[in-house]
């Protein structure tokens, strides 16, 4: 209870500083880089990490760690090229850059892609977190989803991005302390040589297979996931929004690259928990355990831990749930108001009006995320689903941003806008007709989009240079 009181005090304490929608969405760009770094971690490490990663290791699969390698490379690219461009253009929503580079049609379609993609992804993550609350309190799945959704909505609406970031700092701290405590307790219940008793295949990290149908390989991690991370942290407003709250691009760069480095030890902790759980239940059989790997860690928290430690772990889970959920609400509402409501539905209104509109939009997206979460109840492999959804769309967005940053000669708006549906269609077509693993989807989408934009720009340039029909005859 004290934990939630502190969250409420943080949200209320920064509420008085919100005077405009820009302040609500960017925090006046006065937040320290280390808080932004922790906020990025809190946003990306959702309940899918807390539930899904230990589940993978419990089943004997450590190859997920290869995917984490791409996090560092992708965020290096974002920090070096994307972040400086966003600060130079002084944007509130990153999709304003697309309007400047191509035109309003391309920006509008990109915004639509973001709104749909982020709603689906964050809805799945919301259910993953509500799953633990459901088990802990004996609630129905629907009640658990609604409870978490409303709780996060209150904190978000109260203080905007400043409240989101500072509450995420606390939430990440609780999450790390809880995960570390779980490792310590598990180790205390196992013999010192527990790792030697594990079959070697249960600790295999690297898979150098060239089969593109395998999800977690070294090549998918180093190549495919590098582009995926570039897309997520360079084109998804949910992730980029907190980067834009830092005082300048240098501090923002430090935050985003540092978050990639921090992903490695965090992934190691949660994979270790999964292997420790397997060893623990080999030594302490539990007939009520069940076979669903998603529920192994929640079951352990609720049945094996002493009350105080169990409460800490439940708070840790709720921390990551609220963290990723709050950031999604702020980003979705912010993009909707800045990219849709303000330019098309309510031009020239006061800052107070746009601030109210942003808060009301948060309520609407709260309902949308809860609906997606409830629809995810029968999905068995939550982690792959949560990771896979965005890969259908991120490549298309990455192509637009990367081309805008790399080339001065760009196709006109009426042509550039088609790169999005064509890139998405290429990925969906491969998904339906091949067994290509999802870590490669962003690469396919990005290359398809870049090729279309390049050819369109060249064709448009040639058309501009070509003489008008009849011009030669007129000259003669």
Task: Give tens-digit pLDDT for 375-394.
Answer: 877 665 555 566 678 888 99
Residue 103: what are its φ and ψ, rounded to 5°?
A: 155, 180
Q: Which are the contacts of 474, defined by CB distance < 8 A and separation ≥ 6?
A: none
The arithmetic mean of pLDDT across residues 442-469, rounded, is 80
Closest to 300 in 3D by CA, of 183, 194, 380, 126: 183
Pick 272 or 17 by higher pLDDT. Answer: 272
The arithmetic mean of pLDDT across residues 67-87, rounded, is 90
Winning range, highest mean pLDDT, from 22-36, 263-277, 308-322: 263-277
DSSP notation for 132-180: HHHHHHT--HHHHHHHHHHHHHHHHHHHHHHHHHHHHHHHHHHHHHHHH
Task: Give tens-digit pLDDT for 30-67.
Answer: 889 999 999 888 778 766 677 778 988 898 888 888 88
Task: Tell me the C-alpha distance between 339 and 120, whole Å.
Answer: 19
pLDDT of residue 376: 76
Name the burial class of residue 200, with classes exposed (0-12), middle (13-18) and buried (19+) by CB atoms within 10 angstroms of its CB: exposed
Task: Give tens-digit pLDDT for 108-153.
Answer: 999 999 999 899 888 888 887 777 677 767 778 888 888 888 888 8
Please report, for the chain, the start and end positions of each structural domain, with discontinuous segments joined by +.
Answer: 2-382
Q: Is 205 in contact with 65 (CB distance < 8 Å)?
A: yes
Task: Tell me the C-alpha distance between 342 and 33, whole Å.
Answer: 30
Report the SS3 class of residue 31.
strand
pTM for this structure? Answer: 0.81
Four-point Cα dihedral 284, 285, 289, 294, nearest 10? 60
**What tokens were used for 174?**
């609780």
The arithmetic mean of pLDDT across residues 447-463, rounded, is 86
For the chain, how far is it from start to end, CA to CA, in angstroms?
A: 88
User: In the chain, pLDDT over 90 holds for what percent of residues?
Assistant: 34
Task: Give tens-digit pLDDT for 311-369.
Answer: 888 777 777 777 778 888 888 998 999 999 999 998 889 888 988 898 899 999 999 99
Give the 3-state DSSP-derived string for 226-293, with helices as H, strands as E and coil as C. Answer: HHHHHHHHHHCHHHHHHHCCECCHHHHHHHHHHHHHHHHHHHHHHHHHHHHHHHHHHHCCCCCCCCCH
- Average pLDDT of the chain is 84
Q: Is 275 in contact with 203 (CB distance < 8 Å)?
A: yes
Cβ atoms within 10 Å, residue 158? 19
The H or E element containing residue 370 is helix 351-375
Q: Is 198 in contact with 279 (CB distance < 8 Å)?
A: yes
Q: Please state which of the four CATH numbers 1.20.1730.10, 3.30.70.260, 3.40.720.10, 1.20.120.400 is assigned to the domain occupying 2-382.
A: 1.20.1730.10
Task: Tell me the C-alpha distance between 184 and 100, whole Å.
Answer: 52
Q: Is 330 in contact with 25 (CB distance < 8 Å)?
A: yes
Task: Tell me the C-alpha distance between 170 and 419, whole Å.
Answer: 41
Q: Is 202 in contact with 50 (CB distance < 8 Å)?
A: no
Q: Which of 224-238, 288-302, 406-420 has the lowest mean pLDDT?
A: 288-302
Report the SS3 class of residue 72.
helix
Task: Tell me the C-alpha distance between 459 and 227, whole Å.
Answer: 27
**What tokens were used for 325?**
């959920």
Q: Which are the contacts of 289, defined by CB distance < 8 A and separation ≥ 6?
A: 281, 296, 299
Place of tokens 């831990």: 305
Task: Tell me the C-alpha distance between 390 and 395, whole Å.
Answer: 9
**What tokens were used for 284?**
């302490």
Residue 404: what are its φ and ψ, rounded to 5°?
A: -65, -35
Task: Tell me the C-alpha distance between 299 and 284, whole Å.
Answer: 13
pLDDT of residue 25: 73
Closest to 114 in 3D by CA, of 103, 98, 129, 102: 98
pLDDT of residue 64: 85
Q: Which are the contacts of 116, defined by CB distance < 8 A and separation ≥ 6?
A: 393
């Amino acid at each position: 209870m004290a934990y939630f009181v502190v969250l409420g005090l943080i949200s209320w304490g920064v509420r008085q500083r919100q005077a405009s929608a820009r302040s609500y969405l960017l925090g006046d760009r006065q937040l320290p880089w280390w808080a932004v770094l922790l906020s990025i971690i809190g946003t990306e490490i959702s309940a899918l990490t807390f539930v899904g990663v230990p589940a993978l290791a419990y089943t004997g699969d450590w190859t997920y760690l290869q995917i984490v390698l791409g996090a560092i490379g992708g965020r290096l690219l974002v920090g070096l090229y994307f972040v400086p461009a966003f600060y130079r253009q002084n944007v509130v929503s990153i999709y304003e850059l697309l309007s400047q580079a191509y035109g309003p049609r391309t920006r509008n379609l990109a915004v639509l892609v973001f709104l749909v993609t982020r709603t689906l992804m964050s809805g799945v993550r919301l259910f993953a977190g509500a799953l633990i609350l459901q088990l802990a309190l004996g609630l129905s799945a629907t009640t658990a989803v609604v409870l978490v959704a409303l709780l996060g909505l209150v904190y978000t609406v109260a203080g905007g991005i400043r409240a989101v970031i500072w509450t995420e700092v606390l939430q990440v701290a609780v999450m790390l302390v809880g995960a570390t405590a779980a490792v310590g307790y598990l180790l205390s219940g196992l013999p010192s040589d527990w790792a030697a008793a594990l079959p070697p295949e249960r600790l295999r990290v690297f898979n150098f297979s060239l089969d593109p149908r395998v999800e977690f390989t070294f090549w998918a991690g180093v190549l495919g996931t590098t582009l995926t991370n570039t897309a997520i942290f360079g084109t998804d407003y949910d992730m980029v929004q907190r980067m834009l709250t830092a005082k300048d691009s240098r501090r923002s760069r430090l935050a985003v690259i540092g978050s990639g480095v921090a992903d490695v030890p965090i992934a190691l902790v949660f994979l270790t928990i999964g292997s420790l759980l397997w060893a623990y239940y080999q030594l302490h059989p539990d007939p009520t355990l069940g076979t669903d790997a998603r529920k192994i860690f929640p079951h352990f928290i609720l049945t094996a831990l002493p009350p105080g430690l169990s409460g800490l772990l439940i708070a840790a889970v709720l921390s990551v749930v609220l963290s990723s959920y709050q950031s999604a609400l702020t980003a979705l509402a912010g993009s909707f108001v800045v990219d849709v409501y303000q330019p098309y539905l309510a031009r020239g209104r006061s800052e107070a009006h746009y601030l109210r509109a942003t808060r009301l939009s948060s309520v609407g997206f709260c309902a949308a995320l809860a609906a997606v979460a409830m629809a995810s109840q029968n999905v068995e492999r939550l982690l792959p689903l949560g990771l896979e959804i965005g890969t259908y769309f991120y490549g298309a967005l990455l192509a637009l941003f990367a081309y805008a940053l790399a080339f001065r000669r760009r196709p006109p708006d009426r042509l550039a806008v088609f790169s999005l549906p064509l890139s998405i269609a290429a990925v969906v077509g491969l998904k339906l007709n091949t067994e290509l693993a999802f870590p490669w989807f962003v690469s396919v989408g990005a290359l398809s989009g870049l090729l279309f934009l390049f050819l369109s720009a060249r064709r448009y340039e040639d058309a501009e240079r070509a003489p008008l029909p009849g011009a030669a005859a007129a000259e003669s």
